[in-house]
Amino acid sequence: MICNDKDILHVMIEEARTYTQGGEVAKYIPALAEADPSVLSLAIYDGGGPCAAVGNTDETFTLQSISKVLSLALALMDRGEDEVFSRVGMEPTGDPFNSIIKLETNRPNKPLNPMINAGALAVTSMISGSSTEEKLGRLLTFIHELTGNPEIRYDEHVAKSELRTADLNRSLAYFMRQHNVFEDEVEDLLDLYTKQCAIEVSCEDLAKIGYVIANEGKHVQSKRQIIPLHIARILKTFMVTCGMYNASGEFAIRVGIPAKSGVSGGIMASIPHGIGIGIYGPALDDKGNSVAGMKLLEALSHRYDLSIF
């Protein structure tokens, strides 16, 4: 089993680490530019003992776009499919994650899917709660349940850094508010969204969340349904079609695993009915995906025959 192959995983991560030199850390959120680009870590969770973890596993990082999978799960549980998909579509874009272009050309003017920034802002507006604190608290409680780690919080430094510089997301939000995608005050929504993106995890936390999504939404020990089965399926499907943005098609061919990336360098992957994988490698390619993380997932997929296709 893959989790027992620690020596092989050590070799694989050091091979993949060479690719970090071909990437760059995200700079448009100033706090993310402080990351060390040579870092790479991997955790694999199979529901048994502890995660198999190799590389720089002590490093923690912010979820960034990986949080979009979890806010979508919560919004779907809160509002149901009909309401959520009346405000956000189900189609991949082929555009970068922060692109504005299809918001204007698509009719009606709703964002094309929940994984791009526009769609994620619309989804975050559908998390139930009477205040930002309550909505964020519900999201954190959900993540505590998924990971079994009640210590998870958001990183205030990263959240503030993004809020100060998030003018592109502000434009997306103002455009959507004008077109009645949501009614929230834009600054309140941006405040919640940047805190959601700044939730801080380890690659082991990520592997555990990936495992629950992989295994039909069931809690690891108690087998309690944390995410309804049909919602866990929706999440995996979006991870396949939109999870790596405008690299999703190539990633499906080369790797073939439902996965979601974030600009901090995290990747969460879920093999249906199988393992959860968490990766952290902050050196990114030009599409905003961890360059060494993708190479590592490709190598794992080939070696262990993990493609779902």
Q: Nearest to ligand DON by Cβ — which residue?
A: 65
Q: Is 169 in the site for ligand DON (CB under 6 A)?
A: yes
> Pick the catalytic residue: 19, 67, 68, 201?
68
**Nearest CA among 239, 293, 301, 258 for reference residue 35:** 293
What 3-state class would DSSP assign to 199? strand
CA distance 183 to 179: 10
Q: Is 162 in the site for ligand DON (CB under 6 A)?
A: yes
Residue 263 appears among annotated catalytic residues: yes
Residue 212 appears among annotated catalytic residues: no
Q: Is 45 in the site for ligand DON (CB under 6 A)?
A: no
Is 169 annotated for ligand binding? yes
Residue 68 appears among annotated catalytic residues: yes
CB 33 within 8 A of CB 27: yes
Judged by beta carbon, residue 73 or residue 115, the one nearer ligand DON is 115
Q: Give 118's Cβ-side CA count (13 Å radius).
A: 31
Q: β-pairing, 266-270 with 276-280? A: antiparallel
DSSP 51: P
Is 117 annotated for ligand binding? yes
Binding mask 60-89 for ligand DON (x = CB under 6 A): ----xx------------------------
Is 193 annotated for ligand binding? yes
Tokens at 100, concatenated: 């504005």
CA distance 23 to 294: 12
Is 162 annotated for ligand binding? yes
CB 252 within 8 A of CB 309: yes
> Pick the catalytic residue: 25, 39, 45, 65?
65
CA distance 253 to 236: 16
DSSP 154: B
Residue 102 appears among annotated catalytic residues: no
Q: Which of residues 18-37 bind ligand DON (CB under 6 A)?
A: none
Q: Is 99 in the site for ligand DON (CB under 6 A)?
A: no
From candidates 117, 125, 202, 215, binder to ligand DON by CB under 6 A: 117
Residue 154 appears among annotated catalytic residues: no
Judged by beta carbon, residue 20 or residue 215, the one nearer ligand DON is 20
**Nearest CA among 245, 254, 236 for reference residue 294:** 254
Catalytic residue list: 65, 68, 193, 245, 263
Binding residues for substrate: 65, 117, 162, 169, 193, 245, 263
Write out the residues near ligand DON by the rule CB under 6 A: 64-65, 97-98, 117, 162, 169, 197, 261-263, 288-289
